[in-house]
Amino acid sequence: MPSKSSPGKRGSPGKDADPLASLAESSRRLAEIVDRMEKEHCLLATSSMRKYLWYKLLGGIANGVGSAIGATIVVGVVLVLLQHFLSQMQILPVIGKWAAELWQFIQTYSIQK
């Protein structure tokens, strides 16, 4: 005879757990955590202006340094990939040849003083 528990339910096989009740409990706990965090932020902002400005300064510095490091990594990876693909296609001699022809054309038709 097949089992009466659905495959999507969590918990021990003998327990009938209500997924909506579990979701409601998780939502309630999350709301409590967010409320506590908001109270702590307001307390920090009103307790000492110097402390609040210090935390904001440190947060801004960390954000700026993190952005610079992240951008450096992304640009480095892109440049390495471009270097790899360009060396595989051997396009640089073509560009150099085209630049030499362009330079010769400019020199030929430029006005000599």
Q: Note the pLDDT of residue 62.
A: 96
Range of the domain at 66: 19-109
In a domain, 69, yes or no: yes
Range list of H helices, the chain? 19-47, 49-89, 92-109
In a domain, 75, yes or no: yes
Instruction: Taking residues 67-85, report their average pLDDT.
Output: 91
In a domain, 11, yes or no: no
With pLDDT > 90 as the criterion, what percentage of the chain qualifies?
27
In a domain, 60, yes or no: yes
Q: Note the pLDDT of residue 47.
A: 74
CA atoms lying within 13 Å on the CB side of residue 69: 6
Give the chain's domain count. Answer: 1
Q: Note the pLDDT of residue 60.
A: 95
Which of 74, 52, 48 shows the shortest CA–CA distance to 60? 52
In a domain, 10, yes or no: no
**Residues 17 and 9 sit within 8 Å (Cβ to Cβ):** yes
Could you report the per-residue pLDDT of 15-61, keeping only the tens digit for each?
557 888 889 999 999 999 988 888 777 766 667 778 878 888 999 99
In a domain, 94, yes or no: yes
In a domain, 57, yes or no: yes
In a domain, 103, yes or no: yes
